[in-house]
Amino acid sequence: MSTITTKEEQHLHRLILFSDAVFAIAITLLAIEIHPPEHWTGVADLFAQMQTKLMAYAVSFGVIGIYWISHRRTFSRLRKADGTLDILNLLMLGLLALLPLTTELLWEAGAASAVVVYVGLVASIGVAHAVAWAYAAFPGQLTEPMGAAEKIYVLLRVALLPGLMCGLTFLSIMTRTPWGWLGIAVIVAGLTTVNRLMSRGASPLIPQTAED
């Protein structure tokens, strides 16, 4: 019995190691395609010329960072891994590894359609992450003991929220309106209320969330 448990834990451990390596490579490769301009005069001119690329770098670094944090948070709830989780996780990493390329799109074209592709990819990573968590939580039964309500809460707050926030932030920036940020505020307020309602009924939710 205990040997089998150990094997599944090793499986989970190796899956996390592999994912971390892919996250780390994708985040570091973001900068590799950025090159300094050929002619520049002084620091101010350099930053002016590189502004778009550095902005795109910062945004994509933030996006991958947020997904790494989400991944760490969902996977810290798992007890074991299986072959299906391997495949769903690979799918997510396969989309993530396209971010450096899509970031190039952003700084080269800068057009509205480039933003659509970018936000579409960010949202797809979020959906793939949510699917991996949903599989692990429900049919796969790979998590630590936790109720169905909490599993759904983690799905919404940890897996889906980052992608949604990225999309809404972009919407606000591109349309120069506050609607996206208003949407984020409403969602965060809603989830906080749900959490409070849930924690009234099921007290074990509170320490879990606090620890996270």
Q: Is 69 in the site for a copy of itself (CB under 8 A)?
A: yes
Q: Shortest approach of a copy of itself to residue 205 CB, angstroms?
A: 14
Question: Residue 107: what residue type?
Answer: W
Q: Is 9 in the site for a copy of itself (CB under 8 A)?
A: no
Question: Which one, of 140, 161, 188, 190, lies nearest residue 73 by Cα?
Answer: 161
Stretch that binds a copy of itself, among 17-25, 129-137, 173-181, 186-194 (CB under 8 A): 17-25
Q: Shortest approach of a copy of itself to residue 56 CB, angstroms?
A: 12
Structure tokens that stand for 12 in this block: 């989970």
Angle, CA 105 vertex, CA 100 and CA 109 arms, to 5°: 155
Stretch that binds a copy of itself, among 23-31, 135-143, 157-165, 198-206 (CB under 8 A): 23-31
Structure tokens that stand for 112 in this block: 């509205």
Q: Is 36 in the site for a copy of itself (CB under 8 A)?
A: yes
Q: What are the two backbone dihedrals, phi and then psi, of residue 143, each rounded to the nearest 5 degrees? A: -85, 170
d(CA 20, CA 80): 17
Q: Shortest approach of a copy of itself to residue 130 CB, angstroms?
A: 19
Stretch that binds a copy of itself, among 102-110, 121-129, 132-140, 198-206 (CB under 8 A): 102-110
Q: Shortest approach of a copy of itself to residue 84 CB, angstroms?
A: 11
Member of 48, 109, 173, 197 binding a copy of itself (CB under 8 A): 109
Q: Shortest approach of a copy of itself to residue 78 CB, angstroms?
A: 11
Question: Which one, of 126, 125, 195, lies nearest residue 159 by Cα?
Answer: 126
Residue 189: partners with Cβ closer than 8 Å, 6 or more residues away: none
- The nearer residue to a copy of itself, 3 or 148, going by C-beta atoms, is 3
C-alpha of 16 from chain center: 15
What are the residues binding a copy of itself (CB under 8 A)? 4, 7-8, 10-11, 14-18, 20-36, 40, 42-43, 46, 57-58, 61, 65, 68-69, 72, 76, 83, 86-87, 90, 93-94, 97-98, 100-101, 104-105, 108-109, 113, 116-117, 207, 211-212
